[in-house]
Structure 1
Amino acid sequence: MKRLFSFLLCFGILLFWSSCRDDFEFSPSKGQLEFARDTIYLDTVFTNIGSSTYNLKVYNRSDDDIVIPTIQLENGINSNYRMNVDGETGLEDAQEGKFFENVELLANDSLFIFIETTIDISTLGALENQFLYTDRILFDSGSNQQDIDVVTLVKDAVFIYPSKDDDTNIIETLTFDVDGDGTPDETNLQGRFLTDEELTFTNEKPYVIYGYAGVGAGKTLTMEAGARVHFHADSGILVTNNGSLNINGELSPDQETLENEVILEGDRLEPLYEDIPGQWGTIWLFNGSINNTINYATIKNATVGIIADGNQIAINDKLTISNSQIYNISSFGIRGTATSITAENLVINNCGQSSFAGTFGGKYNFTHCTIANYWNTSFRQFPALLLNDFVIDENGLAVVNPNGLTEANFNNCIIYGNDNPEFILENEGNVFNYKFNNCLLRFDDDNLAGTGNYDFNDTTFYEENVFNQNPDFEDPFENLIRIGADSGAKGINDSTFGVEDDILGISRSSSGSIDAGAYNFTSFED
């Protein structure tokens, strides 16, 4: 009984106190709102592709609870922006996401405005391939009105995507001769083959690819200097039997910018995504593709930078790659399988597994290349460089390539990283030919050094190399791989294996000595 009486007494007091409160009496805003920023910049978007969601924090610094009579986009229902104010989408009519009434804001409190956009550049009357679209968020009206600018750069693009069945929603997949037996194989790779009219990528507009863009038998895809290619998730380039990929970038006139390079990356343009690995699939050079060349290209943020399969004993190498960079790859920078690759002035860094893996044998010749790996996002299972002559079958047994590793020559290269050792050589067969000449190598393992494939005094396999000296990279974790004046790679090279200019087009003979790797040394400013 006493407990019941106490409960009723407390309840009565609470009821009386609450009935006397004069809280939550909102007065109109007087135009004294404060904002976290004066302009909302929605980063560059492609036409008809939705942006990320951005936010604006709005503050009521006064001691009064206020009501904001209206929050609206200046262009009203014609605006290409959409807003959400503290979880509300606005009036449920044609102006939803454009207009809000009587928005309450407590004293010394704040609210969030979230804003996004999808813009069709063709509706803007734009005469160029890009257009700066603007609007304003208006708070209140009349003498109390305050505003925040909203700005977005919209780029036109060439979109390449597979067709989809309207009834089943099944997306088109690629069918081609996968195993080289002359019979077309149906794959589960979403995508389509490029038409003849699509086989030249120019620098006039960026290209946005959904799914895999296939290069058909006997066809050649050419990417001209300055081309920009963007891939959606699980997308890439696939080159089939007797097809070719030719990427023809050029050195920029100032030797510093990427203006004339060909850049292949993901389709998210916001700075948040600038260096995130695994945003798209790969460039896949299937068994049977021929005469693939890449010059002055940057390949970044993929799952695998390049996959090259087969054609180990072909007269012409499967892939010739020069003056190019491969960065921020969630798996392998280049994965070759019983294939043939020639590389000069190539830089690979920041890969979740190996920067370069030559597996199941093959033929590889790398000169003045920097094969680095400073991956620090997760555990890395493999070193920067991996070479072997076998694959593991479904029973866990090693299957050896009968041709073996016919060549693996690394001349004037840097093979280094933040792990140790940074190269592993594994063979199960008898044909396993490799040679390191005038390289800077990281291999500081007393248990392995001097044994098996790691007898560094055997000049059949190792000659004039430098071990475990700091390469003095500019900032390898940020993919700045130039070497400094204190680099262990400085002046250690033999001109016999030389490439006349470094990756920046600077003569190697101008300094009086030849440095290992893709770059001549430079003196960094403090």
Structure 2
Amino acid sequence: MRYFISFIICIAFISISSCNRKDFNTVLSSGKLQFSKDTVYLDTVFTNIGSATYNLKVYNRGSNAITIPNIKLENGTNSNYRLNVDGIPGKEFTNIDILEKDSIFIFIETTINAGNIIDPLYTDKILFDTGDTQQNVDLVTLVQDANFIFPGKNAITMKVDSLTLDGQPTTLKGRFLTDTELTFTNAKPTVIYGFAAVPANKTLTIEAGSRVHFHNNSGLIVDNKASLKVNGTLTEKVIFEGDRLEHSFSETAGQWGTIWMRAGSLDNEMNHTIIKNGIIGVLVDSIGTPSTPTLKLKNTEIYNHSSYGILGRETNIEAHNVVIGNAGQASLAATIGGTYNFTHSTFANFWNSSLRQLPAVLVNNFFSYTDDTGQEIIETRNLQAANFTNCIFDGNNNIEFVLDKVDAGGLFNYNVSNSMIQFTDTNDSYKDNTEMDFTSSFYQNVILNGKSHFRDTQMNDFIIGEESDAINKAKATIFSTDILEVDRSATPDIGAYQHITFEVEK
């Protein structure tokens, strides 16, 4: 929508400017136009989904005002491209004037049905003039077919359906998946509009190499008694991301909602999975703290979310070889108690798009709310376990690991071993917090403020190099290979990756 609005504003501005031009004499174009680019690449689009708006600038470098007799698409009215030339929409234009030493804009969009074309690389040309003075600019778009999941609509009012959860209506636009939709394959990407929900007593299986794209305000819900199985491999990872395929959106956070594992969902598993560019990567709820993990994560990368990488609420998460990178708040927020066991994981938050107030990893045992009288009420839950083994906690804040306990007589069990923690308490904010006493028996072989030596923090590339203080400092576990399946049985490094030698740019 914002592209459409920008498009209209640009057109209105150009139209107003054109109306203010004075009469002037012109000569015919002589084939000496210059262009801001000789090919306009409209990034990959999904079938039947409109592209962003692209622009081409056409220059008259000469000393006389000119008239271009004809501007048109080579494929004419059958073209899947749409043009707007100097404020006028269409596919063919006549007698377009450009003042001397001046220029005009051409805006380009497309919507293509993959079923109507033979070659997924769709091309056309913008032709300027005819005959010996003709010039052209190429247009290129890659069209990708996909399986689309849309919310239902009321046949009479055409109002988009909202989900009903636990028997109560919600404001979430979406629907439950049917039995025929409970397997996502790598044959085509899956594009989800609204929230697609896995029904109770059903399992959504996502096969290796699958790509799942979410539209704005969309996501995936695993309902009570439902399960999610994501079966990626090292060579065929499963990727969850937004549906904007333009390169400029490849690292843009907040494009979609979340993968929400609701209270009562069970046996959720993710392996060799990449989750990027949402608001919350994974939101995990539970009813009480289940004795078995609500979510098992392994060999998984969660990057670039505008709020949280993982937000757990009184739940049970078991993870190894996990990388949770940049997020607008916390990479991992393990809240309201629960059970959390992370081994050989890297929590690295170098978010720089806004002020981040939370550490990379936050663990607490409470939640708060305001009652009917306006009084704030704080309730606590048991932290059954928060165990971190061979983990890196790093980022661009002074403090990147916090245990935040409210004393209420409940359990608050934690243990951190053979890990590296960024913790510089310049204001002594935690000097009276016994949970942050790194000399206590709850911390073993911890490196404070060591050098991680990540390859590229802004690109969420958290492989460690030869200068890392994490090298050979981990203890042996049953997880004998790293996230890339590199052997670590002899000399394990802290974090999800074994170190490598970085190539020197020439």
Fold match, TM over 0.5? yes
Deviations 1:71-128 (A, max 9, x none): 0001111010000111112xxxxxxx100000001111111111000011112246xx
Show the counterpart of 1:28. Answer: 28
Show the counterpart of 2:294. Answer: 318
Show the counterpart of 1:455. Answer: 437
CA distance in structure 2 between the aligned counterparts of 1:185 and 1:218, rounded to whole angstroms: 19
Question: Does residue 1:409 correspond to 2:387, yes or no?
Answer: yes
For residue 360 of structure 1, give the secondary structure of its aligned residue in structure 2. Answer: strand
The counterpart of 2:99, out of the listed 106, 110, 118, is: 106
Show the counterpart of 2:114. Answer: 121
Q: Is 419-428 or 236-245 further displaced after alignment?
A: 419-428
Cα deviation for residue 316 of structure 1 reads 2.1
For residue 508 of structure 1, give the secondary structure of its aligned residue in structure 2. Answer: coil
Show the counterpart of 2:368. Answer: 392
User: Superposed, which structure 2 residues align to 1:293-312 within 5 Å?
Assistant: 293-312=269-288
For residue 197 of structure 1, give the secondary structure of its aligned residue in structure 2. Answer: helix
Cα deviation for residue 350 of structure 1 reads 0.8
CA contact (8 A) 1:311 1:340 kept: no
For residue 346 of structure 1, give the secondary structure of its aligned residue in structure 2. Answer: strand
Deviations 1:335-365 (A, max 9, x none): 0000000010000111000100111000000
Question: Does residue 1:367 correspond to 2:343, yes or no?
Answer: yes
The counterpart of 1:504, out of the listed 466, 484, 487, is: 484
CA contact (8 A) 1:352 1:380 kept: yes
Question: Does residue 1:209 correspond to 2:187, yes or no?
Answer: no
For residue 397 of structure 1, give the secondary structure of its aligned residue in structure 2. Answer: strand
AA partner of residue 494 (structure 1): K
More strand by share: 2
AA partner of residue 437 (structure 2): D
Cα deviation for residue 174 of structure 1 reads 1.0
Question: Does residue 1:469 correspond to 2:476, yes or no?
Answer: no
AA partner of residue 80 (structure 2): N
For residue 45 of structure 1, give the secondary structure of its aligned residue in structure 2. Answer: strand
For residue 303 of structure 1, give the secondary structure of its aligned residue in structure 2. Answer: strand
CA distance in structure 2 between the aligned counterparts of 1:441 and 1:422, rounded to whole angstroms: 7
Cα deviation for residue 498 of structure 1 reads 4.8
CA distance in structure 1 between the aligned counterparts of 2:169 and 2:196, rounded to whole angstroms: 15
Show the counterpart of 2:152. Answer: 163
Show the counterpart of 2:405. Answer: 427
CA distance in structure 2 between the aligned counterparts of 1:241 and 1:202, rounded to whole angstroms: 24
Cα deviation for residue 331 of structure 1 reads 0.3
User: Superposed, which structure 2 residues align to 1:57-136 within 5 Å?
Assistant: 57-89=57-89, 97-125=90-118, 131-136=120-125
AA partner of residue 92 (structure 2): F
Show the counterpart of 2:313. Answer: 337
Deviations 1:252-285 (A, max 9, x none): 1xxxxxxx00000000000111111000000000
AA partner of residue 432 (structure 1): F
CA distance in structure 1 between the aligned counterparts of 2:171 and 2:67, rounded to whole angstroms: 56
CA distance in structure 1 between the aligned counterparts of 2:280 and 2:415, rounded to whole angstroms: 26
Show the counterpart of 2:10. Answer: none
Show the counterpart of 1:442. Answer: 422
Show the counterpart of 1:275. Answer: 251
State the Cα RMSD in Å.
1.3
CA contact (8 A) 2:402 2:436 kept: no
For residue 363 of structure 1, give the secondary structure of its aligned residue in structure 2. Answer: strand
Q: Larger radius of gyration, structure 1 or 2?
A: 1
Cα deviation for residue 387 of structure 1 reads 0.6
- TM superposition score normalised by structure 2: 0.92
Deviations 1:19-71 (A, max 9, x none): xxx98211111111111211111000000000001111111111111100000
For residue 272 of structure 1, give the secondary structure of its aligned residue in structure 2. Answer: helix
Show the counterpart of 1:488. Answer: 469
Q: CA 1:114–1:202 in structure 2 vs 1: closer, same or farther (change >3 Å)?
A: same
For residue 348 of structure 2, give the secondary structure of its aligned residue in structure 1. Answer: strand
CA contact (8 A) 1:312 1:340 kept: no
Count of residues in correspondence between the two structures: 475
Show the counterpart of 1:234. Answer: 217
CA distance in structure 1 between the aligned counterparts of 2:58 and 2:123, rounded to whole angstroms: 20
CA distance in structure 1 between the aligned counterparts of 2:121 and 2:433, rounded to whole angstroms: 63
Deviations 1:340-396 (A, max 9, x none): 000100001110001001110000000000011000110111100111111011132
Show the counterpart of 2:240. Answer: 264
Cα deviation for residue 203 of structure 1 reads 0.1
For residue 72 of structure 2, give the secondary structure of its aligned residue in structure 1. Answer: strand
Q: CA 1:485–1:41 in structure 2 vs 1: closer, same or farther (change >3 Å)?
A: same
Cα deviation for residue 471 of structure 1 reads 0.5
For residue 520 of structure 1, give the secondary structure of its aligned residue in structure 2. Answer: coil
The counterpart of 1:187, out of the listed 170, 173, 178, is: 170
For residue 477 of structure 1, give the secondary structure of its aligned residue in structure 2. Answer: helix
Cα deviation for residue 309 of structure 1 reads 0.4
Would you identify which runs of 4 or more consecutive aligned residues in structure 1 move more than 3 Å? none
Show the counterpart of 1:137. Answer: 126
CA contact (8 A) 2:252 2:277 kept: yes
- TM superposition score normalised by structure 1: 0.88
Deviations 1:303-358 (A, max 9, x none): 00000001454232100001010111000110000000001000011100010011
AA partner of residue 117 (structure 1): T
CA distance in structure 2 between the aligned counterparts of 1:300 and 1:23, rounded to whole angstroms: 54
Cα deviation for residue 415 of structure 1 reads 0.7
Q: CA 1:515–1:389 in structure 2 vs 1: closer, same or farther (change >3 Å)?
A: same
Structure 1 regions of 5+ residues with no counterpart? 1-21, 90-96, 178-183, 253-259
CA distance in structure 2 between the aligned counterparts of 1:330 and 1:396, rounded to whole angstroms: 27
Show the counterpart of 2:499. Answer: 521
CA contact (8 A) 1:264 1:300 kept: yes
CA distance in structure 2 between the aligned counterparts of 1:456 and 1:26, rounded to whole angstroms: 79
CA contact (8 A) 2:277 2:304 kept: yes
For residue 296 of structure 1, give the secondary structure of its aligned residue in structure 2. Answer: strand
For residue 339 of structure 1, give the secondary structure of its aligned residue in structure 2. Answer: strand
For residue 37 of structure 2, give the secondary structure of its aligned residue in structure 1. Answer: coil
CA contact (8 A) 1:368 1:498 kept: no
CA distance in structure 2 between the aligned counterparts of 1:439 and 1:350, rounded to whole angstroms: 19
CA distance in structure 2 between the aligned counterparts of 1:163 and 1:450, rounded to whole angstroms: 55
CA contact (8 A) 1:449 1:456 kept: no
CA distance in structure 2 between the aligned counterparts of 1:186 and 1:135, rounded to whole angstroms: 48
Show the counterpart of 1:12. Answer: none
% identical aligned pairs: 50
CA distance in structure 2 between the aligned counterparts of 1:388 and 1:344, rounded to whole angstroms: 21
CA contact (8 A) 1:240 1:287 kept: yes
